[in-house]
Amino acid sequence: MDIALFARHTDYEWEIAPHGAMRVPAVIYADEALIRAMDHKVYEQVCNVATLPGIVKASYAMPDAHWGYGFPIGGVAAFDPDDGGVVSAGGVGFDISCGVRCLHTGLNTEDVMAVQKMLADTLYREIPAGLGSTGAIRLNQSEMDAMLAGGAAWAVKQGHGSAADLDHIEEHGQMRGARPDCVSEHAKKRQRDEMGTLGSGNHYLEVQKVVRVFDTRAAEAFGIRENDVVVSIHCGSRGLGHQIGTEFLKEMVTAASHYGIMLPDRELACAPINSPLGENYLGAMRAAINCALANRQILTHLVREVFSQVIPKARLPLLYDVSHNTCKAEEHVVDGKRRKLYVHRKGATRAFGPGHPDIPDILRAVGQPVLIGGSMGTGSYILVGTKQGEALSFSSACHGAGRAMSRHQAYKTWKGRQVIDELAARGILIRSPSGRGVAEEAPGAYKDVSAVVDAADAAGLARKVARLEPLVCIKG
């Protein structure tokens, strides 16, 4: 992007003044090199979001921002329902509540390297992965509705985990206000056989080693040390979330004129929060959040079973689970007043700072863990939310490295076998049902995750705690 389009507030905060139909400014948090490398579409999209009714303070983009559907991936915006604020299906995205969870193992790198190949092969055999993959669980109508209302709490009741897990998941594992009756039968049918599956695209399961700790106090609170091994799971609400997004986008596009909403881009289809359509979408979206939480919980159970076979001494308590692609009702202080807002995070992570009441007691003193996903061959990070983030971005941070090139371009650039062999030479074992998928997700297709995380840290959105590197990756 052209750096001249921005007013530079700091080395990491760049503002676009309101112009045209924009109601508020747009703000991008990144360093100059990341800004210059961003597609101009990010500029257009973050400005378009700023035109939506009821938006509060600004339209934001995180350091990993790239071109998305309607909102940029890495986009954040809050809306006030009492000021005509809207909820946007495009602003949430298709993979509703796609997110990351991180598990301790109680193991060190040497423990895992001794059985690395066996662990990779067993995980690949037991974790359903890939486009259209199905799991062993089949849900009938009443079980489906119970899952959509109960989330990870439902999964735990079915024997997939323990009650202790729920304290380490956003919303304590159950998104309130879910409305299974607002989810179409077609969406439920798509999900019937997909519980406990990883999916495809950028979804993965990685066994990772902690290679560096930056913040000893926070790392100690999170229970992580250098040379520890952890497991990270990245996936979402599978076919159900995609179907909900597809259906409500069409409905919101058609209804926009009825609500007097001028859409700068039909991909920003939205409805007033205080409207029947807005309320129905929120009910369905919350059900999809529960689907994603239940899915990651079942996958966690499967991972624990694999480790019990391969390394019986392993114990896998949950460090934390964070969602991306959500719209959540939260209280934030704006101009000295506490207001209830609906915060969209599209490819962005909630990052509550120390003391926030929604953080588990055991973590509250240091802040919420912020899990930054990697890309097979590059690192991942664990960050922690800051007090400063509340004023900067409604307590939001980046969610990954962010794509540097399209999947199509990546597929033209690499072959799956080539990527797998190159990573194996570096000691990273990849297992995937799709060579094309591996090529599309090649590490080189992503931005430098360290540059993205450094920018988030320097901007004050979240603070670095630890860097992780992969040992084994099951790629969807």
Q: Say what the alpha-carbon torsion angle 156, 143, 88, 343 is, to the nearest 10 degrees.
A: -20
For residues 213 and 468, the answer to whether their CB atoms sit within 8 Å is no
237 is in an annotated binding site: no
203 is in an annotated binding site: yes
402 is in an annotated binding site: yes
172 is in an annotated binding site: no
204 is in an annotated binding site: yes
Residue 4 has a CB neighbour count (10 Å cut-off) of 5
The active-site residue out of 9, 168, 399, 408 is 399
234 is in an annotated binding site: yes
Q: How many CA atoms lie within 13 A of 393 on its CB side?
A: 37
313 is in an annotated binding site: no
202 is in an annotated binding site: yes
427 is in an annotated binding site: no
Q: Which amino acid is at 161?
A: G
Which residues, other chains included, contact 163 with Cβ-Cβ below 8 Å and sequence gap of 6+? 156
399 part of the active site: yes
295 is in an annotated binding site: no
475 is in an annotated binding site: yes
Query: Could you give phi then psi for residue 382, rounded to 5 degrees?
Result: -115, 125
Which residues, in sequence order, are bridge partners of residue 205?
Answer: 233, 474
Structure tokens given for 373 = 């996903």
Cα–Cα distance for residue pair 228/316, rounded to 1 Å: 12
401 is in an annotated binding site: yes
400 is in an annotated binding site: yes
Provide the annotated active-site residues. 399
Annotated binding site: 95, 202-206, 234, 324-325, 373-376, 380, 399-402, 475
Annotated binding site for GMP: 202-206, 324-325, 373-376, 380, 399-402, 475
Annotated binding site for Mn(2+): 95, 203, 234, 324
